[in-house]
A = this chain, B = another copy of it.
Amino acid sequence: MADSATQDAPQVLAALRFGGDGLIPAMAQQHDSGEVLMLAWMNREAVTETLKTGRVCYWSRSRKQLWRKGESSGHIQRLVELRVDCDGDALLLLVDQNGVACHTGTRSCFFRAAHDGTLVEIQKPSGAAAPGETR
């Protein structure tokens, strides 16, 4: 599916419904294992750049700027396929995650689960340094 990355995006962008804040939620899923890694947000520019470069770029709502995933940590996400939902208001990114997805050091951001009414950790920080990692 390598041909699905590095592509121009006008037709794809036309199918997307961004929210009033100009953003659309995007889930990242490891393409081969199926593990859901994180949920973040994209604006039009982030989608365009992601499709053009084949490297996932989000919009950081806290920093209010483009967030090239892994730019400082080395934990980049290579885009394998970008999928759009029925209403055009959510994205599913099949990615190849380098190292860990979460800033806490866990592979997935979803490392807590509700068990018997309390949240328990179901995944620990891996501690494994990724190639090129700078933290």
Contact = CB atoms under 8 A, between A and B. Distances in A.
Copies in the assembly, this chain: 2
Contacts of A111: 83, 86
A92 to B, nearest CB: 4
Interface residues of A, number: 44
Interface string A1-26: 00110011111100100000000010
B34 A113 contact: no
Given A27-B39, A35-B34, A119-B12, A86 B109 contact: yes
A15 B86 contact: no
Contacts of A9: 114, 117
Contacts of A34: 33-35
Nearest to A122: B83
A114 B81 contact: yes
Given A34-B33, A39-B25, A110-B92, A86 B115 contact: no
A90 interface: yes
A124 interface: no
B110 A85 contact: yes
Contacts of A106: 86
Interface of A: 3-4, 7-12, 15, 25, 27, 29, 33-36, 38-39, 51, 81-87, 90, 92, 102-104, 106, 109-119, 122
